[in-house]
Amino acid sequence: MAVTTIAGADIHVDDDGFMTEYDEWSEDLAGELARAIGIELTDAHWKVITFLREDYKEQGETATLRRVTTAGGIPTKELFQLFPKKPARKMAYVSGLPKPVGCV
């Protein structure tokens, strides 16, 4: 495990750079994480991030794209627009959560 500094905050990350400590994440940090991967957060992004954070707290694992659609009510197509190309990983990263482990 490594520690990296983003926008003045020291955060623990795994080998791929995903945060490993749920409580080290903050809303300000999310904006910085997003900027680091070329995304400017809008209200639509926040809806996704809020769902992912809440769902992780309840389920103990990162929601898959399909779960964000079925349980979070956000169309999959929209997720691809908000977090281009690899939405499942990108939205997990910005939300300070591990990569989703589920296949579907």
Partner 1 sequence: MTTTETKPFVPDFGDDEEDRTIAFVCSKGSLDMAYPGLIMANGAIESGMEAHLFFTFWGMDMITKKRQDHLHFSPVGNPAAHMPAALAPLPGMQTMATSMMKKQIADLGIPSVPEFIAHLSEMGAHFWACRLSVDMFGLEREDMIDELEGILNVSDFIEITKDAEIMFI
Q: Which residues bind partner 1 (CB under 8 A)?
A: 1-6, 10, 13, 16-18, 36-38, 64-67, 69, 75-77, 80, 84-90, 93, 102-104
Catalytic residue among 1, 3, 101, 103: 103
Coil vs helix vs strand at 13:
strand
Q: Is 103 a catalytic site residue?
A: yes
Nearest CB to partner 1, comparing residues 17 and 31: 17
**31/21 Cα distance (integer angstroms):** 17
Furthest-apart CA pair in the chain: how many Å?
Answer: 36
Tokens of 70: 């079925």
Active site amino acids: 103
